[in-house]
Amino acid sequence: MTGPRGRPGERVLVGGLTVVLVTAVAGGVLAGVHAVLVGAGLTLPVAAVVAAVPVAAGFLPLYTAARRLVDRAVRGDRPTPYGVLAGVTALSRSAPADTPDLAGAAEAVARGVGATTCRLTVHRSGLRDRAYTWTAAGTVAATGDALVRVPVRLGEEELGELAVDRAAARALRGEWATLLADIADGLAVAVHANRSAVELERQLRAALAHGERIAAARRDAVAAMDAERRRIERDLHDGAQHHLVSLGLSLGLVEHLVSAGRPEQARAGLDELLERVDAADAVLAETVGGVSSAVLAGQGLVAVLRDTLAGSEPPVTVEHDGVPAGRRYPDGIGDTAYFCCLEAVNNARKHAPGAPVTVTIAERDSTLRMAVRDEGPGFVPDPGPGSPRGQGRGLRNLTVRLVAVGGTVAVRSAPGAGTTVLWSLPLPPDREGVVDPEEPELPEHGADGRAGRAPDGFPTEVGELLRTGAGVYAGTPHAAALGATADALGRVPAGDRVARMRGARAALAALEEVLGTVRPVPRGADRLRYLVDRLRSEAHELVEAELAEALRGPGPVLPGELRASAERLLGMLGVAPRTRLGLPADAGADEVRRAAELELARWQRLAAHPSATGTVRDAAPVLVRTCERLLADRPG
């Protein structure tokens, strides 16, 4: 409601009568005390000062009492803001809570103005309004137009709304607007305190929820570590145990040949034993390193199996019926399929030595179906006790892996007909996490698994990843930003290697920021994150650029001659190998090799020298790697 906050005539009357009453009482007290003091022998000035002390001390209580008396005389028994707010204050003090009791305040206002319904509403930013309503017993709460509403403000901010039933407002003889507005002003501080308390409570609940999520993440990490321990145990059995058993048997055979006096055959057995030791060492190294989800996510199940099984003797054929070589699956499914395949192939080699083995991969009815078949002697299904196939731990490990992700396994075999191990893994109904061929094309990789080096090296590869990221995040504002960053990087002159490296580093950081913060994660983002991580780990140019930037900084990072050598090797004077080694442009290949070997020996000594400074020891490993790359890539 707007308009005047009351009738000026009544306010003037109440104020004037209050002043007259206070003046009369205070003046009478002052005159009486002054007369008594003068009669006691005090001088007039001293008596006046002493008489004024009790009058001044009692002025405020006197004014409050006079105002109440005048209010009652002029307004009768009608409620006043002072009386209503006094009731609200008394009720709030009796509340045990740390926050203002707004429900009690609504009740106090209703009782003060004689309302049957009073509603105090609190506006909350970003949340629904909270209303505190009091209704007299035996009545129905008033709503809509049956309520008279007054805003609750603190300064310019509207904190909420005070509303009472219209019947109570009419009973206030036309002064309800002023009265309710005064009450609303008095409630503003309590409403503000309530809003602050609610916000603090919300933040506390959010902090507690965050703490619970952290605790859950820690529990998950412990569970994952335990699961990883069990995985390593199974992998040792599936991939290494049969090699170690074979080594034991071979050693026993060599011992027998030596004791039988057949040294030539024993020597041949030792040669074979050495080959088996190398094979066992390779299997153990693979078990410890594992095939991480990142590798499977980067190359796809079919490609990783082809690489792993390549060069097997007898050969292992990988057939993928309609499954693209680059198809990637969620971590649990991809890892399980990979290790189950290795287990089945190892079993085939163990029980059918020399027999051809075929691996089949197919997708049907939202299920990944795989099979490993050997052309060996086969066996009778459901064998009796003691059969290696019936009691083998390998099949139990395979079953455990599959059951963990909802898969199934079956074995088909017959004497003379070979053996087939089949299993199936359910794929997510919405195929979430399965990378299809229609995903944005990502940079190709060589057979060695390294990203194919672009002619311009690291900056060009970052530009390719940025454009790939623009495709992955197509339809979002990030796509345009990544494309613009790639274009800006491409406009830096190719000859300005320092500027290109600086821009590539900043662009890669921007791409990593997008990959780490944007939700939901679009299809293809996991693959892109893998490529970014691999580029950062493999790009020696990035480490060289950081060292070169440090050399340009203030202060001597390296002493004189070493600094000059480092600047040449880092390409700060030119990126050609001969320029980096301080050789003329017509230097021969042998000169390049000898110069690179000398620089390599120097920085290797500095890296291990006990008297080298910390900055030298930090720079030396980078320059050692640079020299090694110059030796590996030296011109002909």
Contact 514, 473 (CB under 8 A): yes
Does residue 267 carry a pLDDT above 70?
A: yes
Q: Which residues pair with 318 in a beta bridge?
A: 359
3-state secondary structure of 198: helix
Residue at a domain's end among 401, 435, 469: 435
Nearest to 368 by CA among 337, 409, 410, 412: 337
Contact (CB, 8 A) for 419 and 411: yes
Q: What percent of the chain has pLDDT over 70?
A: 77
State the pTM of this model.
0.33
List phi, psi (to 5°) of 362: -150, 160
pLDDT band at 359 (very low <50, low <70, confident <90, very high): very high
Average of pLDDT values for 529-552? 74
Which pLDDT belongs to residue 387? Answer: 41
Band (pLDDT 50/70/90 cuts) for residue 370 is very high
Strands 147-154 and 157-165: antiparallel
Query: Residue 62 — φ and ψ, nearest 5°?
Result: -65, -40
Task: Establish if 153 belongs to a structural domain.
Answer: no
- The 10s digit of each residue's pLDDT in 24-79 is 888 888 888 888 888 888 888 888 888 788 888 888 888 888 877 877 776 555 55
Q: Is residue 452 predicted with pLDDT exceeding 80?
A: no
Three-state secondary-structure class, residue 347 = helix
**Is 146 a member of any domain?**
no
Domain C-terminal end among 435, 468, 485: 435
Q: What is the pLDDT of residue 538?
A: 63
Determine the pLDDT at residue 4.
Answer: 32
Q: Which domain holds residue 504?
A: 458-538
Structure confidence at residue 6 (pLDDT)? 41
CATH code, domain carrying 330: 3.30.565.10
Is 446 inside a domain boundary? no
Is it the case that residue 203 has pLDDT exceeding 90? no
Count of domains forming the chain: 4
Among 55-64, 136-145, 384-393, 570-579, the range with the most confident prediction by mean pLDDT is 136-145
- 364 φψ region: left (φ > 0), alpha (ψ -120 to 50), beta (else): beta
Contacts of 355 (CB under 8 A, 6+ apart): 314, 348, 374, 375, 376, 418
Residues 419, 52: Cα–Cα separation, whole Å: 117
What is the mean predicted confidence (pLDDT) over 558-573?
82
Q: Of residues 531 and 453, which shows the higher confidence score? A: 531
The rounded distance, in Å, linking the Cα atoms of 370 and 340 is 9
Mean pLDDT for the chain overall: 76
pLDDT band per the 50, 70, 90 thresholds, residue 372: very high
119 is a domain residue = no
Do the domain assignments include residue 330?
Answer: yes
- Is 26 contained in some domain? yes
Residue-wise pLDDT for 464-492, tens only, equals: 888 898 888 888 888 888 888 888 888 88
473 with 382, same domain: the answer is no
What are the C-alpha distances in Å from 306 to residues 91, 243, 329, 341?
A: 80, 21, 16, 11
- In this prediction, residue 455 has a pLDDT band, given cuts at 50, 70 and 90, of very low
The dihedral through the CA atoms of 63, 65, 71, 74 has a sign that is: negative
297 pLDDT exceeds 70?
no
Residue ending a domain, choose from 480, 508, 538 = 538
Q: In this predicted structure, what is the pLDDT of residue 360?
A: 93
What is the spatial distance between Cα 583 and Cα 586, in angstroms, rounded to a whole number? 8
Average pLDDT over residues 199-226: 77
Rounded to an integer, the average pLDDT of 351-366 is 87
Q: What pLDDT sits at residue 394?
A: 66
Annotate 483-533 with DSSP letters as a single string.
Answer: HHHHHHHHTS-TT-HHHHHHHHHHHHHHHHHHHHH-SSPPTTHHHHHHHHH
Helices (H), 40-162: 44-57, 59-75, 81-93, 102-113
